[in-house]
A and B are shown apart, each in its own frame.
Chain A
């Protein structure tokens, strides 16, 4: 049971998911810029762009459809926020692109799971159609991130140490 019963509701969720993902990646890019991790900043900017394009596409699809306005707390995510939003609590300013991509991969996988679960749970044909489409697109995102990951050699290296002491600010 997902609680999403109409195609309009599904589109609202899909759109919100992309918006939050774009916002989250942008936010992370800003954090990395401030902490002078240029590689990650660029990576997150790129991911944000992809999500932004996707959000725009969904907006197009919403035209002419009955899409409900949903209050922030009323979105029917399975977890405590939109599945595609990467958990900021997992961040570190000295992460490598590979480590960040693994987190992004998890987020994209969560998004795929969300639509895939809906696809199997719903009996509404229109919902099924959109769920299938979005699941496929999320699968593409997953593959995109996987392709990126291949650029970096596999490694279980931990996050490296900062050799400078922390700076007192307060």
Chain B
């Protein structure tokens, strides 16, 4: 009886999910032991998005799980998220937190040529305009994107989960970590320190976006099994070229581990025909790859724990170094 009263009085937590990644939402909900709230997110025949909230969320602490994915639907999912946030705000919730494991438009983060849009900044503004109070995301392409927001952003790291994976699922005796570009050197160096491994670096000369030209390997990989680490794999052009470079330099095998496995365009085909022996990503976005080459790291425990801690007002920084089991 008393517990019931407590439940009634305390403002409780509600999990809402869009259509982008129902599996991830489901496993976060299982992990937290909180069912997903009933929402109907549909599309009219004129392609406008319709959102129906199926239960009262007044004065609740609401978490909306929606990731950036889909070659056709990414804008639909973004609009879903914005309309859901807006709907929650209109429904008088206490706080809305957007849980965006893969932040859409994260790579459009700078004015790299004249009049280029800084779409990541736009998305940040749109989220705030819709009424978002807090953002949880993971492995932002550039952590400076946090500065685009006027609201708190918790940028979680997949690194602890990836470390666990490397420790348990790969042979560390003969391994070397490789960064496919100079930008990722810092990420790989940090991992190499924690694993006490050597690392190598590939330097690429890029001419156009999504197109990679010449690659130069710095470091010795002969006879080693290479762990190629990156924050995302999109068209996989870099990945495949880096794999070729490594194999040409006498590597024993190449295993690629990325945080966000977007695998767009003909990436599937490229991976199939590549010399990669394994490709691993987290489940921040849904991945549809053949399981004999693909392996997945489940990061829903990290996201679930972040939600729990945020709701209870506990520190989240523990998660930057530890993966909840």
- The answer to whether A and B assemble together is no
Chain A residues near B (Cβ < 8 Å): none
Interface set of B (CB-CB < 8 Å, partner A): none
